[in-house]
Amino acid sequence: MKSLTLRQYMALILLMSFSMVSMLFITPALGDFASLLQLTSTQSAELLSFFLLGYALGQLPYGILADRLGRLTTLKYAMLFSLAGSVMAIIATVTRSHELLNLARFIIGFGGAGGSVIVATLINESFEEQQARRILGTVYFTFAFLPCISIFLGGLLGKLVGPAGLLIASGLYNLALLPLIKRLPSPRQQDSACLSMLRLLRNYRHNLGNASYLLCTLTFVCTVCIYCIFTSLAPLVIIEPFSLTQLHFSILMLLITSGVAAGCFVSNHLTRRAATATRLTYGGLSMLVGGCLMLVLCYWLKASHLLLWFSIAGFILFMGHGLVSTNSSVLGIKATPFKASGVSIMYFLSFSLSSLLSQQTSVLLAHSNARVFGEVLLCLAVLATLLFALAHRKIKKLQPAPQISG
């Protein structure tokens, strides 16, 4: 396949970003959920942690199902499963059941995982490395705005319709995306040999034994952890010290997370002008600078005049995320001939660790102060940079990887 229509681009963007939009849409209203269900701040953060857990666990089966049932059929079932979770979440909010709401968020995340797995697989199967990187960079750049906008709209609508109204709006968005599945690029036909469980296990074992793939995957994991921890715990760290309203917090997060779009734009712009190692170096330095600034600012978070600097630090950190995640994910997936299982493992590790770290960090925040938030982000930025240093020697070996046929 040589090109994509505008409608196909939009379908790829909306379906791939669905999970992040669903997760972050209720972020500004976590305080309202806590008041409605009589939850502590840690318990309200579980609404995001359970979503991430479901999203992480959903990565592994979708790679298998995509090979068995076909890409688009699997994606349709995943979106329907997520829609069922949205209905359950509305019922849980009306009945004020915290446990049922956590289960519903888990189901929504599990279903939403299908979008990211299938879309990433389709792009990497259909195009050569350079073209896939440009398309994925464009998709990342565009859909990076959607989670930002979802936070803004969540804060705006939260005041108007309340927690239950937000969940209804999220379910309607899920329903509206179902017809877009037909607009996706036509994938290759499923291989009947994929029905063999032994072959599936061999694919996973091959990917886990591929050093180039693992290095790029672990780098990607660190960037995703930074994004998820920041977006899920920022309400607990920012709103009270700066006395922000939901709307003001939404605007602030819109500015900060737009750094992802900036990073994807820079990565896309440098695809033909700079080597992969150069792009990853820029991204690593950006994350380090943003992480260091974030840690320093967390020591004096109660000073209201530091809000601008906090925004700048977050923007720089997220710009590094956009640079590194785009390139490391494409390189990792192109380094393996088993792309569906490769995407599944990459996303499973990313969001399972994100869920675990978000939960543990929220517990530490409840018994400590905002410094923990900055320390975790900086440690992840340092780890991502170290992993890039280890992967640097592999970059030249990774470049020929697209010659491997899927």
Query: Cα 123 to chain center, whole Å?
Result: 17
| Residue 312, CA distances (Å) to 157, 284, 307, 316 in order | 26, 17, 9, 6
Tokens 């930074």 sit at which residue?
226
Query: From CA 319, how far away is CA 290, in angstroms rounded?
Result: 9
Query: Would you say residue 183 lies in a domain?
Result: yes
> ∠228-230-234 over CA atoms, to 5°?
125
Query: From CA 317, how far away is CA 309, in angstroms rounded?
Result: 12
Calculate Rg over the CA atoms of the chain: 20
pLDDT at position 153: 84
Query: Would you say residue 64 lies in a domain?
Result: yes
Query: Would you say residue 327 lies in a domain?
Result: yes
If phi > 0 it is left, if psi is from -120 to 50 it is alpha, else beta; for residue 391 that is alpha
| pLDDT, tens digit (0-9, with 9 covering 90-100), for 344-403 | 788 888 888 887 888 788 878 777 777 888 889 999 999 988 887 787 666 555 454 444
Number of domains in the chain: 1
Amino acid at 239: I
Q: pTM of the entire structure?
A: 0.74
Query: From CA 96, how far away is CA 116, in angstroms rounded?
Result: 31
| Residue 54, CA distances (Å) to 19, 68, 80, 91, 381 in order | 11, 21, 15, 19, 25
Judge whether 33 and 149 are in contact, CB under 8 Å: no
> Encoding tokens for residue 8?
């196909």
Query: b/e string for 301-333 if b means 16 or more Cβ within 10 A?
Result: beeeebbeebbbbbbbbbbbbbbbbbbbbbbbb
Query: For the domain that residue 384 is a member of, what is the CATH number?
Result: 1.20.1250.20
Q: Which of 373, 170, 151, 140 is nearest to 253 (CA)?
A: 151
Query: Would you say residue 386 lies in a domain?
Result: yes
Under-50 pLDDT residues of the chain: 1, 398, 400-406
Number of neighbours of residue 182 by Cβ within 10 angstroms: 9
What's the domain range around 348?
6-403
Query: Would you say residue 272 lies in a domain?
Result: yes
Query: From CA 164, how far away is CA 392, in angstroms rounded?
Result: 48
Query: From CA 53, how far away is CA 10, in angstroms rounded?
Result: 27
Query: From CA 109, how far away is CA 19, in angstroms rounded?
Result: 6
Query: Would you say residue 1 lies in a domain?
Result: no
